[in-house]
Amino acid sequence: MLFLSGITDFFEGIQEFFEDNLVARIIVDGYLALIVISFIVFLCIKFKKALNLTVIGILLFLIKSAAELFGFELSSKIYNAVFISYVVIFAILLAPELRKLMEYHKADDNKKAMLMSSTQSTRNSIVDAVFNMSSQKVGALITFELHNSLQQYAERAINLNSDISRELLEQIFIKDSPLHDGGVIIRGNKIICAAAYYTLSQDSTLDKTVGSRHRAALGLSEITDSLTIIVSEETGTVHIACAGLMNVMNSKNELLEYINIYLGD
Residues 6+ apart with CB under 8 A from 124: 256
pLDDT in 10s for each residue of the chain, 265 residues: 555 666 777 667 777 776 777 777 778 777 766 776 676 666 666 556 666 777 777 877 887 777 777 677 776 777 778 778 777 777 777 666 666 666 555 544 444 433 456 788 999 999 999 999 999 999 999 999 988 889 999 999 999 999 999 999 999 999 888 888 899 999 989 999 999 999 898 887 788 778 899 999 999 999 999 999 999 999 999 999 998 899 999 999 999 999 998 887 6
Look up residue 175 and give its amino acid.
K
The closest of 145, 175, 151 to 242, measured between CA atoms, is 145
Domain boundary among 88, 108, 128: 108
Per DSSP, what are the bridge partners of residue 95? Answer: none
pLDDT the model gives residue 47: 58
pLDDT the model gives residue 11: 66
Residues 133 and 233 in one domain: yes
Domain tally, the chain: 2
CATH of the domain at 174: 3.40.1700.10
pLDDT the model gives residue 235: 93
Residues 155 and 254 in one domain: yes
- The whole-angstrom distance between residue 22's C-alpha and the CA centroid of its chain comes to 43
pLDDT the model gives residue 238: 97
Residues 133 and 207 in one domain: yes
Which residue segment(s) compose the domain that 48 sits in?
Answer: 2-108
Residues 63 and 161 in one domain: no
Residues 140 and 15 in one domain: no
Residues 65 and 19 in one domain: yes
Torsion sign over Cα 70, 72, 77, 83: negative
Q: CA torsion, points 240, 126, 159, 108, in degrees to nearest 10?
A: -40
pLDDT the model gives residue 98: 64
CA distance 98 to 81: 25
Per DSSP, what are the bridge partners of residue 32? Answer: none
Q: How many residues does the chain have?
A: 265
> Taking the model in full, what pTM does it have?
0.59
CA distance 169 to 126: 8
Per DSSP, what are the bridge partners of residue 158? Answer: 194
